[in-house]
Amino acid sequence: MVAAIAAASDGSVLINVVSLLPTALQRRLSQHLGRADPIFVGIPLSGKEAEAVVARLDDAAAEAAALVLGRRQLKTATPSLPSVKGGPGAAAPRKRSNPAQR
């Protein structure tokens, strides 16, 4: 899998356009660079484009995090306790003080 975007050390954001190149050219680039792995051919985004991409990535990351945390909560949720006769708030049975009544 090859990255779709990259952040450069100068703060710019690049988008990978390698998939837009003909397959033969991709192969030639890989051979020329001596790499069998997928390559990244990036073009810089304008400031406005980069802001839009980062905002969408932030939304997607928040959604993914919420999904993972929601699944964790389901796995670790405390099972409900068995119901007590009389329901919640019902008085506990009283102990008998007279041993003859036992």
Dist CA 80 CA 97 (whole Å): 33
List pLDDT tens digits, range 13-40: 999 999 899 999 988 998 998 877 788 9
pTM of the full structure: 0.57
What are the structural domain ranges in the chain? 1-44, 46-75
Look at residues 25, 6, 15 and name the one whose alpha carbon lies nearest to residue 49: 15
Contact, 13 vs 6, CB < 8 A? yes
Mean pLDDT of the chain: 82
Query: CB-based contacts of 53: which residues, under 8 Å, 6+ apart?
Result: 5, 13, 15, 45
Contact, 43 vs 14, CB < 8 A? yes
Tokens of 4: 């779709």
